[in-house]
Structure 1
């Protein structure tokens, strides 16, 4: 059971809630939840909200660990990093600038 969909469906059944309740309690739309389940991928922030609602950690949902509840320190050791969207955009801009400088030197 390594797919996000499988883990979410099992947890929903264990909690005795519907997918609509999961979506509502996770502050995502039902359509978004179905897209996550069907594509087996999601934004990290969406997984955080789903994991929080289900009482597990993101690493468990992603199939990186079989441990449902870890501390933030343990979860960080699984390879996930939390970065603000603004920081990612800034890094991307710097990369583009550096690529431009490199091309000018060629």
Structure 2
């Protein structure tokens, strides 16, 4: 069971909620919740609000992990890291620069 909608439906049953209650508590419209459940059409911000309401991680809803709620320490042990986009871009530029230097070095040998 890896589909977002399946996980949400199981969690609302386990929590004793209705779809309307989940929508209201997540601060999304019922129509948006139905779109997520029926068309797998969700923005990260919507999934985050749903996950917070259901007391699980977004990674659980999306099927990236089978552990519903992980502490930050457990999450990092599972291989998840949060980085700012600017940091990722800077690292990518460094990698490209190192690759170019390696290619130049190999070409000169």
Fold equivalence (TM over 0.5): yes
Q: Distance in 2 between matches of 1:34 and 1:24?
A: 13
2:99 maps to: none
- CA RMSD in angstroms, aligned pairs only: 2.4
2:91 maps to: none
Q: Identify unmatched segments of 5+ residues in structure 2.
A: 87-109
Q: Distance in 2 between matches of 1:72 and 1:45?
A: 19
Q: TM-score, with normalisation over the residues of structure 1? A: 0.70
Q: Distance in 1 between matches of 2:83 and 2:41?
A: 16
Q: Distance in 1 between matches of 2:52 and 2:84?
A: 18
Report the alpha carbon displacement of residue 82 of structure 1 after superposing the two structures with TM: 7.7
The runs of at least 4 aligned residues of structure 1 exceeding 3 Å deviation read 75-79, 81-84
Aligned residues: 85
Equivalent residues in 2 for 1:11-50, closer than 5 Å: 11-50=11-50
